[in-house]
Every structure is written in structure tokens, then in C-alpha cells.
Structure 1
Amino acid sequence: MAEKTITVEQIGSPIRREGSQRKTLVGLGLNKLHRRSTLPDNSSTRGMIEAVKHLVRVVDAPRG
């Protein structure tokens, strides 16, 4: 069975945000607006997305 993945897109700028939020975006593989990154769907990835939910959006979420 294939590993579940989640795709996120950066929709907000990290300018004038805390350094930890910028580092979280880099950890998600994002660093410029409208970039997309496909990541494994696990609790650590979900936690990172939750920390910067105002700067990213989930493009395609797994169903079920």
C-alpha cells in the first residue's frame, strides 16, 4: 500500500513573522509564495501545518 501524502501551498509571506514560522515553512519545503510541496501525511507534518496555517493551505487532502 502506498504511503498517504498531503500537498500544501504557501499563500502567505513570512515577512514580519517569528523566525520559528519561517523555519517551519522551510521544513515543509516552502520558501516562496505559491510554491507547492508534497509531504507524508503524518502527525508531525500535520503539526507543522497547524503552526503556520495562516501562511499555507492544503491543496489536496486525503479522503477517508
Structure 2
Amino acid sequence: MAQLKITLTRSAAHRLPKQRKIVKEFGLGRVNSTVIKPDNAATRGVINQIFHLVSVEEVKD
């Protein structure tokens, strides 16, 4: 199964509370922090809400 490498490229400070909550729940603490999540519809939907703060790469197993 493919996975997504999500990197926080911009700060979540001064953003909407919902966007800050999403960044925190993804486990992204500081700028340039990275997490790997499964590539599914739920993850992609959440990424669409914070697309301006993150960069996404596809990681193949």
C-alpha cells in the first residue's frame, strides 16, 4: 500500500483553530517536521484542508 510523506513547510501559527488542530493531530510540531501516513481518502481529505501549509510526497514500499 502506498504511503504519503507529509512535511510541514509553513507555520500553523495565526491560522484557523481547525487548521492548527489538524497539524497537531498529524503529529507535525515544527516547520520541516515530517510524518508518514497511509494514502487513503480520509488522509487526502484532511491534507486538502491544510494544503497551503504542507508538502506531500508519495512513498512506495
Equivalent of 2:34 in 33, 36, 42: 36
Corresponding residue of 1:47:
45
Where structure 1 has 5 or more consecutive residues not aligned to the other structure, the ranges are none
Q: Structure 1 segments of 4 or more deviating over 2 A?
A: none
Q: Could you tell me how far 1:13 is from its partner in structure 2? A: 0.7
Corresponding residue of 2:17:
19
Q: Could you tell me how far 1:29 is from its partner in structure 2? A: 1.6
Q: Which structure has the larger Rg over C-alpha atoms?
A: 1
Q: Distance in 2 between matches of 1:15 and 1:26?
A: 11
Deviations 1:10-64 (A, max 9, x none): 0011111111001111122212100000001111110111100010001x2257x
**How high is the TM-score relative to the length of structure 1?**
0.83
